[in-house]
Amino acid sequence: MATELPSNIKSSDVLTDQTSSKWLPPGLALQKVDERIMTLNVGPQHPGSGHMRLIVQIDGDYIVACDPDPGYVHRGEEKMAEYRNYITNIPHLERPVIHDSCNVLYPYVLGVEELLGIEVPERAKYVRVIASELNRCIYIMYWLAIYGIFLGHSTMFMWPAGDRELLIDLMEKMTGARVTHAHFVPGGVRNDLPPNFEEVCLRQVAYFEKRIKEYAAVFYDNPILIARTQDTGVLSRQDAIRLGTTGSVLRASGVDYDLRQKEPYDVYEELDIHSNVMKEGDSYARSKIPWLDMMESCNIIRQALQKMPKSGSVRVKLKPNPKGKGLNTVYKRVESGRGSLGCYIVSDGKPEPYRVKLSVPSFRNLIALPYLLKGEKLGNMPSVYWSLNYWPVEADR
């Protein structure tokens, strides 16, 4: 130790000898490594990892082990929710996924409605279904654009990023904001649909559907994409269930589980919903399921617009600062753009919730990543990683 320590640090605080390194937690202690194995840090600044780090160990071109390291964008959403009342929690709870903000808020709003015993008007339920399906498509388009650019397919980045605008425009007319709508509240939605909305919505959704069908020729049936993603990162049906994956990842592995069908909330039971399932469980199937989901969402929007009561209230009036009745807990979950998203709320009779816990699909799908990447080529890592329909900010909350 030739260099001098700064005056405010005592030499006894610095780990110098081997014995004190025993204190370190197991992950931080030095490990003996094989000479052939190289450790690669992908991220946290790398555009190919999102706001997270993937610690990948490679032997030549093949991945031996992968250790995902999320947590770089932890914002303490759950703790923040304990200091705000049931209404002012709305704007910040939709921040984890700003492109899918209605769906992120949905389980919270459903839960608070049950806690406070609020009956929601029929029209509001349909408006919520339309908003959440539009949001699902907006999210998937963004996800698809990034999937395209991950694979070096820049056309597939430009097209979804542009066509998303059709639906963002609808959301803007409906809620007054392009992202982070703050539209759902306990008791309904904040405002009624603008005049003429149905007609505009049908027109733009029909064109949107026509556009996404064109993606087949350029992307999904493209032999280059198929060669790169087929049979990479295969997740078997049993593993998908055992690892607790959800949403498009689970359905790509052959498990037909869509919460909109299995546990319908709001008015989903009155709508005819077809869930998309594929058997292969590889990256190709996982990237195709969200695309098929978008077409299903277009169907749902059309059905909802048709069945919706043409007039009526969209929001029940609440008392200011509504309170829960005594000690009470509620758990609600919805099918978001990424999979089942749950919200567990504990109320102790105060205007603020005692505890809000989000159970997010991104985190649950990420668990599968180390198993999928073992034995893959390093070049396939981005496509396998992003096919998990993972959103870093949501996983960190």
Partner 1 sequence: MIGTATGIIRALNSGIKHLAIKRFTLRYPEEKLKFVGDGYQFDPSTGVGIAGLKGRHLLFHDHCTGCQLCSIACEGVAEAIAMVKVPEEHKQNKKAIMPQIDYGKCVFCGLCVDACPFYALYMTNDYELSSFSKEGLIYTPAQLQVKPYVAQDSEIIITSRGATHG
Q: In terms of CB distance, is 112 or 388 closer to partner 1?
A: 112
Residues that bind partner 1 (CB under 8 A): 83-85, 87-92, 155, 162, 165-166, 169, 172-177, 180, 182, 190-195, 203-204, 207, 214, 217-219, 221-224, 226, 313-318
Q: CA 188 to CA 146: how far, in whole Å?
A: 33
> Could you tell me if 326 and 237 are in contact, meaning their C-beta atoms sit under 8 angstroms apart?
no
For helices 101-116 and 122-150, the axis angle rounded to 10 degrees is 150
Q: Which are the contacts of 77, defined by CB distance < 8 A and separation ≥ 6? A: 92, 93, 95, 96, 358, 397
Q: 226 vs 367, which CB is nearer to partner 1?
A: 226
Query: Between 62 and 83, whose beta carbon lies closer to partner 1?
Result: 83
Quote the least distance from Cβ 68 to partner 1, whole Å: 30
Q: How far is the CB of 103 from partner 1 (least distance, A)?
A: 17
Supply the minimum distance, in Å, between the C-beta of residue 335 and partner 1. Answer: 25
Which of 85, 299 has the CB closer to partner 1? 85
Whose tokens are 């490594």? That residue is 33
CA distance 329 to 70: 29
CA dist., res. 112 & res. 354, Å (int):
12
| Distance, CA of 237 to CA of 250 (rounded, Å) | 8
Min dist CB 168 to partner 1, Å, is 10
Q: Which is nearer to partner 1, 89 or 229 (CB)?
A: 89
Q: How far is the CB of 88 from partner 1 (least distance, A)?
A: 3
Contacts of 106 (CB under 8 A, 6+ apart): 128, 132, 184, 265, 334, 336, 341
Phi, psi of 150 (to 5 degrees): -60, -35
Closest contact distance (angstroms) between CB of 64 and partner 1 is: 32
Closer CB to partner 1, 46 or 190, in the complex? 190
Q: Nearer to partner 1 by C-beta: 20 or 191?
A: 191
Total number of residues shown for the chain: 397
Q: How far is CA 300 from CA 126, 127, 317, 340, in A?
A: 10, 12, 28, 18
Least separation, in Å, of the C-beta of 177 and partner 1? 5
Give which of 235, 251, 278 is closest to 371, Cα–Cα.
Answer: 235
Contacts (Cβ under 8 Å, ≥6 apart) of 266: 110, 120, 125, 128, 129
Q: How far is the CB of 152 from partner 1 (least distance, A)?
A: 14
Instruction: Name which of 203 and 374 has its Cβ closer to partner 1.
Output: 203
Angle subtended at Cα 37 by Cα 32 and Cα 40, rounded to the nearest 5 degrees: 105
Question: Least distance (Å) from partner 1 to the CB of residue 120?
Answer: 13
Q: How far is the CB of 266 from partner 1 (least distance, A)?
A: 18
Say what the alpha-carbon torsion angle 139, 144, 147, 152 is, to the nearest 10 degrees.
-140
Residues 235/236/241/243 CA torsion (nearest 10 deg): -40
**Do 115 and 328 touch, CB atoms closer than 8 A?**
yes
C-beta of 62 vs 207, nearer to partner 1: 207
Rounded to whole angstroms, the Cα distance separating 41 from 68 reads 10
- When the beta carbons of 76 and 375 are compared against partner 1, the nearer one is 76
